[in-house]
Amino acid sequence: MSAILSIEGVTVALPPGADRPHALDAVTLELRAGEILCVVGESGSGKSMTASAVMRLLPPRVGITAGRILFEGKDLATATEVEMRAIRGAGIAMIFQEPMTALNPLRPVGDQIGEMFSIHTDLSADQIRARTLALLEEVRIPDPKLAMRAYPHELSGGQRQRAMIAMALALSPRVLIADEPTTALDVTTQAQILSLIRDLQRRLGTGVLFITHDFGVVAEIADRVAVMQHGVVVEQGEAAAVLNAPQHPYTKALIAAVPPLAAPPPRPFSDEAILKLEGVSKTYRTGGFLGRNKRVTRAVRDVSLALPRGGTLGIVGESGSGKSTLARCIMRLIKPDAGAIRLDGTDLATQSPSQHRASAKRMQMVFQDPYASLNPRRRVGELVAQGPIIHGTPRNTALARAKELFALVGLDPAATDRYPHEFSGGQRQRIGIARALALEPEVLVADEPVSALDVSVQAQVLRLLAELRERLGLSIVLITHDLRVAVQVCDLVAVMKEGEVVESGPIGRVFEAPEHPYTRSLLAAVPGRGFQAAR
């Protein structure tokens, strides 16, 4: 089949002073009708910039300096703004990563979809309404009539992404650019959205340029794959060829970084539990003034778990399953309504604030977002030393200890004088771990420690955690939504759904022979399972 969109030697220059001269360097890609071309790469590889270049929606002071982008016989690189506007939406449509922020919060969803027709066609208001409703039915949104009038905040993440897809497909574009459309979604929702995209693409014969960082998704959906690194396409070819016999070392490294879903052989750990949760419950009540619109959310229901000394307990679940609330209960950042949390036999839940400060040393937390969890105005050495200083260590001793910790987590000890923004995401997460270790805790609670990181960096950070566990005899509670992450480091796993633990046990047993239907559906939804099995 012939190409409907061909990108020929496109170079995009970054403004002077950026970390590299070109965002894209002579990128050549070809998208044929009715195929899904996955563009894969880590952050900063230029994959999203490629999409922006095609749409000619580049950031200010960034422009195409060489090459052609041919779409239906027209060169988009030199098309006028008016010509581009006619193509955007109608000829080439786009869906984005964050369906919450990609929709205008102040206008109903149906209105925003209908806008596609009012810009590009002469349909009457009634016809537009009918078409919008038909579109929402086509993307299988529950209760399309209601969804039409709903505002974005009234829909779930998956429903919003369905609405975005309906909007993008409104005018049956020849090309659909999907920029990480499922990254922000839960694994089961992701599986549904991926199958929806593939379905619609097959039926309408649309060419899809699918941008992702996740090789699991690639294996699930791609016909052909292009791998990008530092603005250059390093490898492209048929999906099966690239996935099973990668040629370029970068592709090999990326694929190797995708962990297999099978658990490693079980490690020995002690039978004695260092941390025990007994019937922990937490209920949120919102509203309630004058007893109106009261809403009760049972975030954690009667959870009983045990963390063996030196072991790692994974708590997995989708968003809203209560796993983060449970982590905060364990850290006593919030007070559970009922139940006991025993650290070495002492119940933390009923401690007084002063007792709690003393036991806080023994349990430390690593947070999800390495960008937001470090104070940008303070030197990283001080951030790491802060905890011990508060607990009475002399300042100089604490700062010297911070340097040792930096070496321990694989950072240059001389870097303690720098500020957080001078580090990459993976390095910042290492700083976060160093900060947690500064108080020499016995238990580390890590809430989604790697979900904001690229795959290759994820693997490094997880390896570091496993290593520290051996060397320092740490016990770890790892909260994650990603089953692949859990399987790499956890000894035990607990699957949470709607605040309850539906299944728990040794990870090998739970993942190989899941008992609960929810665990089975979670495992089935992991993208690229078949690809993993084939390796």
Partner 1 sequence: MLALAGRRLAASIPSLLIILVGMFLLLQLAPGDTVDALMAQMGGGGDAQLMAELRAFYGLDLSVPARLLNYLWRLVQLDLGFSAIYGKPVATVILERLPATLFLMTASLSFAFFFGLLFGVIAARNVNRWPDSVISTLGLVFYATPSFWFGLMAIVLFSVHLQWLPAGGMESIGEGFTGIHRVLDIAAHFVLPTLTLGLIFLAIYLRIMRASMLEVLTLDFVRTARAKGLDETRVITRHVLRNAMLPMVTLIGLQAGTMLGGSVVVESVFSLPGLGRLAYEAVVQRDLNTLLGIVFISALLVIFVNFCVDLLYARLDPRIGKETGG
Residues that bind partner 1 (CB under 8 A): 55, 57, 85-90, 93-94, 96, 98, 101-107, 115-116, 119-120, 151, 153, 164, 167, 286-290, 292-295
d(CA 324, CA 317): 10
Q: Report the distance separating Cα 314 and Cα 1, nearest Å.
A: 47
Please name which of 495, 437, 442 lies closest in space to residue 314, comparing C-alpha atoms.
495
- Cβ nearer to partner 1, comparing 51 with 402: 51
Residue type for 481, please? H
DSSP β-ladder status, 443-447 and 363-366 = parallel
Minimum CB distance to partner 1, residue 210 (Å) = 16
Quick one: tokens of 196? 């929806």
Rounded distance between C-alpha atoms, residue 3 and residue 353, angstroms:
67
- The distance of closest approach from Cβ of residue 149 to partner 1 in the complex, given in angstroms and rounded to an integer, is 10
Q: Compare residues 266 and 287 and give the one whose CB is closer to partner 1.
A: 287
| Shortest Å distance, C-beta 117 to partner 1 | 10
Mapping DSSP to helix (H, G, I), strand (E, B) and coil, where does residue 203 land?
helix
Q: Count CB-CB contacts under 10 A for residue 149.
A: 11
Nearer to partner 1, 1 or 106 (CB): 106
Q: State the nearest-atom distance from the C-beta of 154 to partner 1, in Å.
A: 8
Count Cβ neighbours within 10 Å for each residue of 187-202 and write b for 16 or more, e otherwise.
bbbbbbbbebbbebbe
At how many degrees (to 10) do helices 157-169 and 109-120 cross? Answer: 10
Q: Between 171 and 472, name the residue whose CB sits nearer to partner 1.
A: 171
C-beta of 118: minimal distance to partner 1 in Å? Answer: 10
* Burial readout 16-54 (b: 16 or more C-beta within 10 A, e: otherwise): eeeeeebbbbebebbbeebbbbbbbbbebbbbbbbbbbb
Q: How far apart are CA 110 and CA 131, in angstroms?
A: 10
Query: What tokens were used for 101?
Result: 């922020």
Of 93, 261, 245, which Cα lies nearest the Cα of 179? 93
Give the nearest distance from C-beta 125 to partner 1 in angstroms: 15
Measured in whole angstroms, how far is the alpha carbon of residue 164 from the centre of its chain?
Answer: 19
Nearer residue to partner 1 within complex by CB, 165 or 349: 165
- Which CB, 88 or 497, lies closer to partner 1? 88
Shortest CA distance to 87 belongs to which of 56, 132, 60, 49?
Answer: 56
State which residue, 179 or 223, has the beta carbon closest to partner 1: 179
With respect to partner 1, which residue has the nearer C-beta, 102 or 438? 102
State the nearest-atom distance from the C-beta of 159 to partner 1, in Å. 16
Return d(Cα 244, Cα 534) in angstroms, integer: 9
Cβ 165 to partner 1 shortest distance, Å:
12
CB 110 to partner 1: min, Å: 13
Q: Where are the beta strands (DSSP E) in 259-354?
A: 273-286, 295-308, 312-316, 338-343, 346-347
Q: Minimum distance between the CB of residue 197 and partner 1, rounded to whole angstroms?
A: 17
**What CA–CA distance (Å, rounded) separates 87 from 3?**
17
SS3 content of the chain, % helix, strand, coil (to 5): 40, 25, 35
Q: How far is the CB of 97 from partner 1 (least distance, A)?
A: 8
* Length, in residues, of the chain: 535
Q: Which is nearer to partner 1, 92 or 300 (CB)?
A: 92
Taking a C-beta distance cutoff of 8 angstroms, is the pair 161, 181 a contact?
A: yes
Closest to partner 1 by CB, 61 or 395: 61
CB of 152 to partner 1, least distance (A): 9
Cα(463)–Cα(480) distance, integer angstroms: 16
Q: How far is the CB of 76 from partner 1 (least distance, A)?
A: 13
User: How far, in Å, CA of 485 to CA of 488, rounded?
Assistant: 5
**For residues 219 and 223, what is the distance between their CA atoms, to the nearest angstrom?**
9
Closest CB to partner 1 among residues 245, 296 = 296
| Separation of alpha carbons 172 and 135, rounded Å | 11
Considering the complex, state which of residue 17 and residue 345 has its C-beta at the smaller distance from partner 1.
Answer: 17
Q: Which is nearer to partner 1, 78 or 101 (CB)?
A: 101
